[in-house]
Amino acid sequence: MWNIRTSYFTNPILFMLLPILFITPTAAMGRGVFTSEDIEEGTVLEIAPVIVMSKEDRVLLDQTALYNYIFEWGTDQSQCCMALGYVPVYNHSYNSNCDYIMDYETDTIVIRAVRDIKAGEEIFINYNGEWNDTTPIWFDAK
């Protein structure tokens, strides 16, 4: 079982991706991220760098297919970002098995398990930001 509790918050790592994660087609959501081994609650799965863009860029991005893949960014959320790594491929669940933390100082997004995850299970984040937030999102999520 994987249990990487990185010292990220005291000694930042700028990029990391667990080697047990993989992307494969899903039955209902296109592609998704899965794990080949058990992952323990609290484990950091990924530290992904982001490309930060301005609010003017956001207006243009909102007119493209990237609209569904960008995050609001900054303490006042006046910017947006495109995450690299696997972050754009994690599917949404209102009761996800991971959360994400935005680090504005290092321009990274950290993906962390909020419960134990079994081998073969899909990795989900909640697009609302909080792992168990049931507020409806901008598309019909089932």
Which tokens sit at 142? Answer: 């089932």
pLDDT mean across residues, the chain: 85
Domains assigned to the chain:
16-48+84-125 (2.170.270.10)
pTM of the model: 0.83
Tell me what percent of the residues of the chain surpass a pLDDT of 90.
56
Confidence check: pLDDT of 139 > 50: no
Q: What is the pLDDT of residue 124?
A: 94
Q: Residue 37: which pLDDT band, with cuts at 50, 70 and 90?
A: very high
For residues 74-91, give the mean pLDDT: 93
